[in-house]
Structure 1
């Protein structure tokens, strides 16, 4: 009897230990599952649906997704048919992956989810990040339906000669029931009304227009970015032309930006700061017929561009363009380290780089009022284009220091093509033009 009692007790102890161990394993598995990254391979559907499903599942839980190199469909590329919409508090980790717009896509690759067609009253998003790990490439379509910034007419035969007809390549050209002008959907990454944004360690190739653009975005960090966005691409042994291909664009209301370590082959500005209003027909949000996704109207200081810090920039074409119109203001911009040097292996647009740094606007909307482009500090720049620093509007309280102009077209390092009597408090320090015989 005693033997059976001992045996029963021993059996109970073993059973209890097994249950405890099993419970521990289950808890560990649950904890590991909770910590496991959410990714598109966890879902079904096409690539776009799976990535968006991952974002939706992560919202309010992990607030993070990881797009890996390997696609569950057996490829190592992710094809996007429509914009991936990113909510607040979302981090997208790109892990050694290639993401490409499909030939059927006429949309952004990534967009903040608070902005889009018909969204007339966008609310603020916050804290969105796109972070690359390893080698990450974001690519335009192989044969895009539409390219070009605002008001470009789609064409199958866009030409390289100054693009006087304002055309840009797109397979939608001439097709019935297809919009024949380009618009903001051609921008690869588009953020609007976002407070807190990061984009780090990615390469962007053959964007359909501006590669990365911001409208009314605050507190952003852009770093370690490589752009290959010339104003052409080769398709079936034929060169096609796309206009215009800025790398980074800051529009109305962008404030507190840190932009560092950018290398670019660009077809227009490497970095553009543009507060440009072309008329009341563009004063609504979510307008598919506009060149911006939000209103271009300047309503006051909240729409000024200010406190932008730009460092360590290398480009083959134009460097930093600062343009405002009418009552818009751009101020407190700090530029330290921009090199513009032509690449002999890349066809430069038009007649070569017109400037390393541009201040002013005489081409878009009304010219800016005197002094509204102010407190611009430019230092440690090198340029070989038609101008190094090109001043086209009456600026105020600016300093240009330590610049080397290696071009031959301009008389000196700074070119003024505006009424100098309206310019106030501009200081030039240690700016030189290198004689042609020592180049």
Structure 2
């Protein structure tokens, strides 16, 4: 239990964790609790009164509704003991099967803010990854917990750095995210979000104890079931997987219930109809090196993703700037359930500029520059006749010499 100390901090500007005693995690949690229902603001400063310039977290900081976290030129890092998120909305977690909605959570950076994964993470990768100490064939990812008896040997949602679910009103601004343990930022059933001025430094390889190890599933931003009304602007950097992914997957999986550690989603993977569709997503000013895709849009079966607007995507990587309709490992999306995907001002290399894997509809792609060596700027994994009312205009292929 952290106690309060008097070091002269002014609460009018926000509750400062240096006002409390205990571990870094305990002091930040105490600051959140003190601010809750009063000033509703916590300011994490650059200098930690323990004598360091790093705030080292052993477990997640749980954020209630109506809470603003100001990160003032500070560095937060997950400790080597941590097998948890860095920030999570307080309404979800282990044992929570029917979450209540919360509103208005903000994480705002001032100046140079770094959010960093562990130097030697206990677990990485998504829920299908088995932990290993060195890379080997199959669906694996590094974790120092690998081979330890009685400890979970696969990844899960705790490997996500920032996880928000059942939140109406969220802001994330001006932070630099490094060495995430899987997806850097993930949303489930979140409405009215504004994400801007974020950089990622999350390549697929990381040096741990002098050895290069493989970290799987290092996406940048993921929108899962039921995300609506998002503005994603001015995002840049490097990721070892998709840079931005919109996904409604796992509808036929065995472990669909929420509140367990058997999935990369903390909430249920059941699809409950249109409320769990993803729609009204605006993505702009993206500059990235992402190993797989710049923007990936995937849905299974009857789930829908629609009204996605992309303006300004500069991408370098292995596959495609945009995956417009992908099925992941599940059943294909029904024709037209992914619709109204509109993208313009796209530049990239890879195998193609655009990849279409499912029967999308009523979509438009304009002003594309393909700089790769592939034969086609747009490739299809389905019969083209299954795609309805999709227009491509002003695409140019500039082959590298």
TM-score by length of 2: 0.96
In the other structure, the counterpart of 2:265 is 292
Please list the CA deviations of residues 137-172 of structure 1 after superposition, one character each: whole Å capped at 9, or x if unmatched.
00000001001112100000124xxxx411100010
SS in 2 for 1:316: strand
C-alpha displacement of 1:279? 2.4
What is the distance in 2 between the residues matched to 1:386 and 1:420? 18
Instruction: Establish whether residue 152 from structure 1 lines up as the match of residue 140 from structure 2.
Output: no
What is the distance in 2 between the residues matched to 1:283 and 1:168? 22
Per residue, is there more strand in 1 or in 2?
A: 2
**For the Cα contact (< 8 Å) 2:145–2:153, is it kept in 1?**
yes
What is the distance in 2 between the residues matched to 1:34 and 1:141? 31
Instruction: Establish whether residue 339 from structure 1 lines up as the match of residue 314 from structure 2.
Output: yes
After TM superposition, list the pairs within 5 Å mapping 1:26-425 onto structure 2. 33=10, 35-159=12-136, 164-279=137-252, 281-317=254-290, 318-341=293-316, 352-409=317-374, 411-425=375-389
In the other structure, the counterpart of 2:398 is 434
C-alpha displacement of 1:356? 0.2
What is the distance in 1 between the residues matched to 2:82 and 2:208? 17
Please list the CA deviations of residues 169-224 of structure 1 after superposition, one character each: whole Å capped at 9, or x if unmatched.
00100111110011000000000000000000000000000000000000000000
Aligned-residue RMSD, C-alpha: 1.2
SS in 1 for 2:62: strand
Distance 1:422 1:36, change over 3 A: closer
SS in 2 for 1:356: strand
**For the Cα contact (< 8 Å) 2:310–2:342, is it kept in 1?**
yes
Count residues in correspondence: 391
**For the Cα contact (< 8 Å) 2:54–2:77, is it kept in 1?**
yes
SS in 1 for 2:192: strand
C-alpha displacement of 1:281? 2.8
Please list the CA deviations of residues 362-393 of structure 1 after superposition, one character each: whole Å capped at 9, or x if unmatched.
43211100111100001000011111100011
What is the distance in 2 between the residues matched to 1:72 and 1:116? 30
What is the distance in 1 between the residues matched to 2:258 and 2:327? 26
SS in 2 for 1:57: helix
C-alpha displacement of 1:66? 0.2
SS in 1 for 2:207: strand
**For the Cα contact (< 8 Å) 1:324–1:360, is it kept in 2?**
yes
In the other structure, the counterpart of 1:22 is none
Please list the CA deviations of residues 314-362 of structure 1 after superposition, one character each: whole Å capped at 9, or x if unmatched.
1112200000001100000000000113xxxxxxxxxx52000001224
SS in 2 for 1:279: coil
**For the Cα contact (< 8 Å) 2:249–2:328, is it kept in 1?**
no
What is the distance in 1 between the residues matched to 2:256 and 2:149? 28
Gaps of 5+ in 2: 1-8
What is the distance in 1 between the residues matched to 2:70 and 2:306? 33
Per residue, is there more helix in 1 or in 2?
A: 1
**For the Cα contact (< 8 Å) 2:190–2:226, is it kept in 1?**
yes
C-alpha displacement of 1:259? 0.2
User: Where do 4+ consecutive residues of structure 1 move more than 6 Å?
Assistant: none
SS in 1 for 2:22: coil
Further displaced range: 418-427 or 94-103: 418-427
What is the distance in 1 between the residues matched to 2:399 and 2:16? 57
